[in-house]
A and B are shown apart, each in its own frame.
Chain A
Amino acid sequence: MTNIAELLETAGLTGRGGAAFSTAIKLKAAKENGAELIVNVCDGELGAAKDAWIVAHHLHELIEGAALVASGRRPRIRYAAHRGSRTAGLLATAGLPVLEVPHRYVSSEETALISLAQGGLARPMTKRAPFVFGGRDSQGRKVPPTVVLNAETVWRVSQIHRLGAEWFRSFGTSAEPGPRLVAVGGHVARPGMFEASAGVALTDLLDSAGGLPPNARHVGVGGLGGVVLTAAEAQSTIWDTPGMKRHGGALGPGIVTVWNPAECPIETAARMISYGAGESAGQCGPCMFGLPALAADWTDLARNPTGMGRDHLLLRLGQLERRGACAHPDGVARFAQSALRTLAPEFAAHANHACQKGRTQHAQFV
């Protein structure tokens, strides 16, 4: 019998939920600790759609993958999906145990799912040690060993088991092997799900969806926890970790969104940052106060861009990293930082009391 952990080690499978942690290591720890498995099928990030796509098209393989990953003779497996979603419906129809998740941005975060699975609220927990070993929440309540894997990761496990590690490594780069699902959406002719791999040109991803429209100005990679590039940057960026790192980002959970050129991008960013602020779980001071303050500062800067205002914003961004129980403030800060840099021309226009989009709400600069 193939040792599945060794197979995944050889294949080099890493988590497809965005964190890209070695699946082999996670699997080994899960088996050693008899951990319960939660398959994250939430598509929690803005613009995400691959988890739903897997359930709609490859449910059997997903179930196979879960069986391979789960520990013990009577493994505990649950599929986490947003309450009332089509995915949740499909899973329930298939007779699978569904963990119903509220429609909150952070509720699909790893520790939030674990908390919900234990009968608590779908809010992140402080992670003193990975919960695969079992642990306690902040109030001291015991949490049994639990591991959370993204749906695509689990699907890939079954593929590797069936098709082999070599097959997996025939895609992507040696550092980041394997096929990856990417949802390309927004202002494109044919939004949809595409299979790609690390190392492709971002331009190729966009071409699959009908290409980057000539009037498109900005492209988001990774949703609210990701970054935004100019159209020119997008056309010359390779979609892999080194390529994305140059723009302050990462591969992320396979989301590319072309921003609507009809809206002022500073406004688009403002909407996303405000959304992020409103989605704080309200458990950590730096997030529940810091994110709304960031959103307010962004709006102020949009209305009246000054060097001091920009410095103030950058200071705020620095105070958001690693000061929460989860990475939500880090994600929003990363996005805001990227937008601040990328939208420098638009901020300059606002400083000159003009907005290139000429929208009414920016006329108040006059």
Chain B
Amino acid sequence: MSGSALWYLSRATGVVTVVLLTIVVGLGIVTAGRRRPAGESATIVMGLHRWLSLGMLVFLGIHIVTAILDGYVPISWLAVIVPFTSGYDTLLVGFGTIALDLLVVVMVTSYLRHRIPERQWRVVHWASYAMWLVALFHGFLMGTADQAGLRAITLACAAIGGLMACWRVVATHSDKERRRTIDAQEWS
């Protein structure tokens, strides 16, 4: 594959990754305001959340590999996991690296969820929001003027994701409300 073909593939798979990531994060967010009883829809949402995140890894993998194999700009294999060590566009590639590092931690803790304290899993999973944000910065700011379509898609993901994150802050459901009400009473 020629250099520029690899570069285009890298950017294309990069945008697909951002889209899938936004969907995955969105699916996770949706569980915050569930109606009762949930059941079937909850299972579908959770199932997609898990499966799409795996599918996303495929696109992410191609995105990273093609970016490195394309010899036009110097990005080392080390830069994949250690942030800000890339020769090319150190800052923005670094963002991508940070997002990847966070993703790895989120996915590993989720895979090992039953073997680690629940609290640890929870704290790490919250970092998904930071990961998503950093990935978006990486994607949007690294785009060039001739790829307006891709940038638009990235922007749309940012907007939708931002709205969902706001919704997450205000969303509530009966279980959470009841717990919160009783939590405010004297218990210590």
Contact = CB atoms under 8 A, between A and B. Distances in A.
B186 interface: yes
A120 B185 CA distance: 14
B117 A122 contact: no
Contacts of A120: 188
B63 to A, nearest CB: 34
A140 B116 contact: yes
Contact of A139 (B119, B175, B183): B119
B117 A121 contact: no
Q: Mostly helix, strand, loop or mixed at chain A's interface?
A: loop
Sorting the interface of chain B by its residue count into under 10, 10 to 19, 20 to 34 or 35 or more gives: 10 to 19
B118 interface: yes
Contacts of A280: 182
A122 B188 CA distance: 6
Contacts of B116: 140
Interface string A279-302: 011110100110000000000000
Interface in A122-169: 122-123, 136, 138-141
Nearest to B182: A282
Contact of A140 (B117, B174, B179, B185): B117
Nearest to A282: B182
B187 interface: yes
B188 A288 contact: no
Chain B interface SS verdict (over half):
helix
A102 interface: yes
B181 interface: yes
Contact of A281 (B122, B174, B187, B188): B187
Which of A282, A285, A289 has the most B CB atoms < 10 Å from its CB? A282
B118 A138 contact: yes
Interface residues of A, number: 21
B182 A288 contact: yes
A103 B186 CA distance: 8
B144 interface: no
A116 B174 CA distance: 27
A136 B182 contact: no
Most chain A CB within a 10 A radius of its CB, from B119, B122, B174: B119
Nearest to A280: B182
Contacts of B120: 140
A257 interface: no
A76 interface: no
Interface in A251-272: none
B117 A288 contact: no
B119 A282 contact: no
Contacts of B183: 282
A288 B187 contact: no
A121 B118 contact: no
A338 B26 CA distance: 49
Contacts of B187: 102, 104, 107, 121-123, 281
B117 A139 contact: yes
Contacts of B185: 104, 282
Shortest 9 CB-CB distances between A and B: which pairs? A140-B117, A282-B182, A121-B187, A139-B119, A140-B118, A102-B186, A288-B178, A139-B118, A140-B119
29 contacts: A102-B186, A102-B187, A102-B188, A103-B186, A104-B186, A107-B187, A120-B188, A121-B187, A121-B188, A122-B187, A123-B187, A136-B117, A138-B118, A139-B117, A139-B118, A140-B116, A140-B117, A140-B118, A141-B119, A280-B182, A281-B182, A282-B179, A282-B181, A282-B182, A282-B183, A282-B185, A288-B179, A288-B182, A289-B174
Given A139-B117, A280-B182, 6 more contacts: A102-B187, A103-B186, A140-B119, A282-B178, A282-B179, A288-B179
